[in-house]
Structure 1
Amino acid sequence: MDTTTPASPDALRRAMADRLIAAGSLSDVRVEQAMRTVPRHDFVPAAPLEEAYDADLAVITKRAEDGTPLSCASVPSVVAMMLQQLDVRTGHHILEIGAGTGYNAALLAYLTGEDGQVTTVDIDPDVTAQAARALEATGYGRVHVATRDGALGDTTHAPYDRLVLTVGAWDLPQPWWDQLAVGGRLVVPLRWRGQTRSLAFVREKDHLRAVDIELCGFVPMVGQDGEHHGTIDPGGHVTLYWDADQPVDPTTLGGALTHPKSEAWSGVTVGPYDSFDGVWLRMAATDPGTCRIAADSTAVDSGLCTPAIPVRSPALVEGDSLAYFAVRRLPSADGTERRSELGSYGHGRVGQQLAGRIRDQIRAWDHRRTSQPTVTAHPAGTPDDQLPEGLVIDKTAVRLVLGI
């Protein structure tokens, strides 16, 4: 007979915070106290207690008919990371876009205190209704919950000292600029060149300046359609994702993968626990042809397309040719760490040259693995001569400028 006593919510909450600290995900004392205090399980009542306090688990709370997640309670490690990027102070006015379960808004209310004000908005009335109920039941009913298009923000308590998105964004609409005070901070999971990064922007008078960049993934925001996609093989097993400002034509690439494969290996190796996502970040900041490639199991098993991470890896496209990031395991002696070499495969007329460009990016990343590009955002229409030096990515509302 199992006589194990189930852990209490308080004990599980403490254990979650302890794991986040041990993993290096939680270092801010105030954020730590918030996560030790706010009862996450009350915002995800359908989840088992252990799942509610799993530091590395997102809890899906609403899905589309095809199973696509529409709303969730984000992974606690990501919640902690973004709260630390946001740098909330007592008395702040905060706007959150993407109400989710209401848990993040409760954490924000704890951090800003009784003298502050938290507003959370979502376009889905089911989501806002659930969040409002949970906030009221847990003692955070002072949070203002509104059902509206997040792209419009909410002027009710503007200007805001902090603005945070808990949904993935492709663009930075003008209302967010208008409602964020100069000197305020915007934390947004921003998507460009097929990747998503949580950027902490500081609002300057005429632009936004990123002060921190972290890898993340989020349910995309409704209504921002700047990323396109299309399959590039007859069977539909390989898909490219690219931005609206990129001249990518999947029809032109339709036969690329049938061309002989070119290989370009860098000599750069990684261990089983080494991160190499910085290669993509560097490519996105320096090469305008950077996009994302995804291959399903049929493509991988047949050898048609074998990216380093099949569902999401960086690629380069130029006309009828492409190359993508790849990895191969190296033989190892008994008792030594298993190493893998980073490189690329190319297809098409200039596939070999493209593969070589990825190889060169890997080598450049290897010299400064922890470096991050500079990122600034400027209103659309800003003349080129008023932009800083760097790679310009034009979106609908902003011009991103990235520099190495």
Structure 2
Amino acid sequence: MTTASGNAVRDPMALRTAMVAELSEDTIRSEAVAAAFSVVPRHLFAPGESLDVVYDSNTPLVTKTGPDGTALSSVSAAHIQAVMLEQAEIEPGMRVLEIGSGGYNAALIAELVGPQGAVTSVDIDPEIVARARASLQTAGYDRVRVVQADAEYGVPEQAPYDRIIVTVGAWDIPPAWIAQLSERGRIVVPLRFAGLSRCVAFDLAGGRLVSHSYCLGGFVPMQGAGTYSETLVPINGEATLRMDGPDPGFDVPALRKAVHAPRIERWSGAAFDMPDELELFVVTSASHVPFLYASQQLVDQGVFSPAVTYGTAAVVEGGSFAYRTKRENEGLGGWESGVYAYGPQAEAVADRYVGLLRRWAADFRRRGTARIEYLPTSAGVPDGWYVPKRHGAVAVSWR
């Protein structure tokens, strides 16, 4: 299509069709989800944004930023929305609560539940609520309820819900969410624990939540009563340990000294792949595993490998630490996992980490081998590895 002046005009329907075709290659599995993405006009929920950006399946659409430029709200990338909707397995006639409003995802849910279902979307920010309401009305989804409230408490007036879909990063699962689930209820939530985030589909089972599926995914953090902040432990100005929960008492002077001492390297003899699964195994197989972040300058100086610029799980013992790395190894299919270790106990901490790499490769090197549970405080202390939360605990076991 062209204008009279000869300039190309992008057709939203054609772009939407192309986006759905791309998502159907590796993300969308069900006809219902594909149909929802095919009919909801995503561009109406991002007025002023270019159509090419709107219909790029991997691009989130930031709708509000803070004074420092940090994203406070966004319409999530279509790819992650599709992933979570597939996890949710929404059926016609269901009642669904969406936590975190943008409008577009609520419209997709409305298509999935159909005219006999009900969709409620809640957000703490009045500006976002007004924007979502206006966009939904423009797109023809007036029956979606958009509520301004602190999502920590859910929306009890419309409960019970067959599905709760959380589109903000949550550090905990409030009691209200569990209480407002129906007997067949499922919560799909980007849950943060042990320094990482996973989109987990939890089913209600005997007063606790048990994972049906999980995948990599992160979102803008939740505001209000559910706000959390991570603990930062600076080793020096350019290297930091980050973790959820309190500082366990790292020996910072010794770790600072170890950073600039010679390092050792150890290789596992095991293939390096599925780094998100491997990382989940490492942080849930030892206690107090922080994430190591460091500057590009330290990478350029050869102190650390490039992985630390994005954050990588570190095993710490006293004044020594190790983190995961990789090297080319065609015999293992391309890459081999290993570790770099620093400090006076570098040999011991390297052996410990390499042991974890080998165990994962031998026993758990496939998707979905973790069992993630959320236990409310009333359920007691779980067995095995767990991390305490404000309202309960997240427990992870491997099978």
Structure-1-length-normalised TM-score: 0.90
Structural mapping, 1:2-401, within 5 Å: 5-22=8-25, 24-99=26-101, 101-222=102-223, 223-225=226-228, 227-233=230-236, 236-244=237-245, 247-249=248-250, 251=252, 253-270=255-272, 274-306=273-305, 308=307, 310-329=309-328, 339-367=334-362, 368-371=364-367, 372-380=369-377, 382-384=379-381, 387=382, 389-401=383-395
Q: Conserved in 1, the CA contact under 8 Å of 2:231 and 2:246?
A: no
- Rounded Cα–Cα distance in structure 2 between residues aligned with 1:178 and 1:349: 51
Distance verdict in 2 for CA 1:144–1:304, change over 3 Å: same
Alpha-carbon distance between aligned partners in 2 of 1:182 and 1:346, rounded to the nearest angstrom: 49
Instruction: Tell me how far 1:230 sits from its aligned partner.
Output: 2.7
Residues in 2 aligned to 1:309 and 1:366: alpha-carbon distance in whole angstroms: 22
- The question of whether the paired residues in 2 share the 8 Å contact of 1:241 and 1:293 is answered with yes
Amino acid at match of 2:352: R
Give the Cα–Cα distance (whole angstroms) in 2 for the partners of residues 83 and 297 of structure 1.
37
Counterpart-to-counterpart distance in 1, 2:325 and 2:365: 17
Is the CA contact 2:45–2:135 (under 8 Å) kept in the aligned structure 1?
A: yes
Over 3 Å counting, the alpha-carbon distance change for 1:113 and 1:97 in structure 2 is same
The separation in 1 between residues aligned to 2:165 and 2:194, in whole angstroms, is 22
Cα separation, 2, equivalents of 1:198 and 1:267: 31
Cα distance between partner residues in 1 of 2:395 and 2:256: 31
CA contact (8 A) 1:266 1:342 kept: yes
Runs of 5+ consecutive residues of structure 1 not aligned to the other structure: none
Kept after mapping to 2: 8 A contact 1:263/1:345 = yes
Judge conservation of contact 1:226–1:395 (CA < 8 Å) in 2.
Answer: no
Change (3 A) 1:400 1:182: same
In the superposition, relative to structure 1, how do residues 103 and 300 fare at CA in structure 2: closer, same or farther (>3 Å)?
Answer: same
The Cα offsets for residues 77-107 of structure 1, whole Å up to 9 and x where unpaired, read as: 11100001011111111111111x2110111
Question: Which AA in structure 2 matches 1:10?
Answer: M
AA aligned to 2:349 is: L
User: Partners in 1 of 2:380 and 2:112 — Cα distance?
Assistant: 40
2:96, 2:79 → 1: CA distance? 21
Q: Quote the offset at 1:173 in angstroms.
A: 1.2
Corresponding residue pairs, total: 390
Provide the rounded CA distance (Å) in 1 between the counterparts of 2:345 and 2:228: 30
| CA distance in structure 2 between the partners assigned to 1:351 and 1:157 by the alignment | 56
Distance, in Å, in 1 between the alignment partners of 2:182 and 2:146 is 21
- Pair 1:279–1:246, CA change in 2 (3 A): farther
Whether the 8 Å contact between 1:105 and 1:143 is mirrored in structure 2 is yes
Letter in structure 1 aligned against 2:302 = G
Cα distance in structure 2, aligned partners of 1:329 and 1:194: 28
Higher normalized helix content (fraction of residues) = 2
Residue 140 of structure 1 aligns with an amino acid whose one-letter code is Y
Root mean square deviation of aligned Cα: 2.3
Please say if residues 346 and 352 of structure 1, whose CA atoms lie closer than 8 Å, have aligned partners that are also in contact: yes
Offset of residue 163 of structure 1: 0.5
Query: In 2, are the aligned partners of 1:307 and 1:313 still within 8 Å (CA)?
Result: no
From the superposition, tell whether residues 250 and 171 of structure 1 become closer, same or farther in structure 2 (CA, over 3 Å): farther
Distance 2:249 2:370 in 1: 24
CA contact (8 A) 2:207 2:379 kept: no
Question: Is the CA contact (8 Å cut-off) linking 2:270 and 2:332 kept in structure 1?
Answer: no
1-structure distance, mates of 2:179, 2:306 = 41
* Deviation of the 1:214 alpha carbon: 0.5
How far off its partner does 1:3 sit?
5.3
- Measure how far apart 1:295 and its partner are: 1.6
Separation (CA, whole Å) in 2 of partners of 1:337 and 1:397: 44
Name the amino acid aligned to 2:366: T
Contact 1:193 1:292 in 2 (8 A): no
Check 1:248–1:179 CA distance in 2 against 1; reply closer, same or farther (3 A cut): farther
The percentage of counterpart residues that share the same residue type is 36
Report the CA distance between 1:140 and its aligned residue.
0.8
Q: Provide the secondary structure at the position in 2 that maps to 1:293.
A: strand
Of stretches 169-178 and 352-361 in structure 1, the one that deviates more from structure 2 is: 352-361
Change (3 A) 1:201 1:327: same
Offset of residue 145 of structure 1 = 0.9
SS at match of 2:228: coil
- What is the CA–CA distance in structure 1 between the aligned matches of 2:247 and 2:162, rounded to whole Å? 34
Pairwise CA distance, 1:337: 11
